[in-house]
Amino acid sequence: MLRSLFNREPSRPERTGRTVLSGPRIPRHSSGWAAMLKHLKEEESLRVLDIGPTSPSNINFLTALGHSCYMADVVHEALTGEWTAPPEEEGGAPGFDVGRFIGQTLDFGGRRFDVVLLWTTLDYIPQSLVQPLIDHLYAAMHPGGRVLAIFHTKMEGPNTAYCRYHLTDGDTIEMQESEPHPVLHVYTNRMIEKLFSRFSNYRFFLAKDNIYEVIITR
């Protein structure tokens, strides 16, 4: 089941532009996804939040497993929307209006999730949004819920293009290049644990392609 999570104020017009997915899907081994897939197959009727552009194949895959699927295109919304906040001090630089962004684009209507497929979202969004987004997801998850997150170890170079991740029934995910957003942050394991300090457990998977994965338990 696909539900819209973008509840906008009536005065704010809908943007018609959508995230463009281009190029072929490139398979990539993912130990993190393999572990999450095992969890999805063992449990029934989970509520899954898939962060990223709409992927009909992901929707079909998750619903075929008996789960409910919701989507939120956080990176596109954060980087292409008008979320400028007035400067905190006179003469200062404008900031990112975190409260308005979360209120208008991540209003889950009281829904709580069992699984969040966060992918590489935290590498691309404004720094001021990172911790509030994590805290918002924490509040919107059931205890014991799991997050699958992917992080780059380098800001430039191979495999740093912003991609949509498509699910498969195995230990691979399919990467498809999307909008040309640069990696804005690189996090160490310790930094990730600090960001997710309210969560209870972390399981790290180190890959060979300058990317590593984490399953974080609420």
Using DSSP's 3-state secondary structure scheme, residue 200 falls into coil
pLDDT exceeds cutoff 70 at 91: no
Q: What is the mean pLDDT of residues 101-111?
A: 94
pLDDT exceeds cutoff 60 at 17: no
pLDDT exceeds cutoff 80 at 22: no
Neighbours of 97 (CB within 10 A): 18
For residues 198 and 62, the answer to whether their CB atoms sit within 8 Å is no
Q: For the residues of 22-59, what is the DSSP string, one character each?
A: -SPPEEEE-HHHHHHHHHHHHSSS-EEEEESS--HHHH
What class has domain 26-85+93-217? alpha beta
147, two tokens: 């997050």
Cα gap 143→139, rounded to integer Å: 10
Q: For the residues of 100-155, what is the DSSP string, one character each?
A: HHHHHH---TT--EEEEEEETHHHHS-HHHHHHHHHHHHHTEEEEEEEEEEEES-S
Q: What single-letter amino acid sits at 83?
A: W
Cα gap 157→201, rounded to integer Å: 31
CA 73 to chain centre: 8
Domain assignments of the chain as residue spans, ordered by start: 26-85+93-217
Residues near 151 by beta carbon (within 8 Å), at least 6 away in sequence: 120, 122, 123, 186, 187, 192, 211, 212, 213, 214
127-166 confidence digits (pLDDT tens):
999 999 999 999 999 999 999 999 999 999 888 999 999 9
Cα gap 34→42, rounded to integer Å: 13
167-216 confidence digits (pLDDT tens):
999 999 999 998 889 999 999 999 999 999 999 999 999 877 888 899 99
* pTM of the predicted protein model: 0.89
The residue ranking higher by pLDDT, 48 or 85, is 48
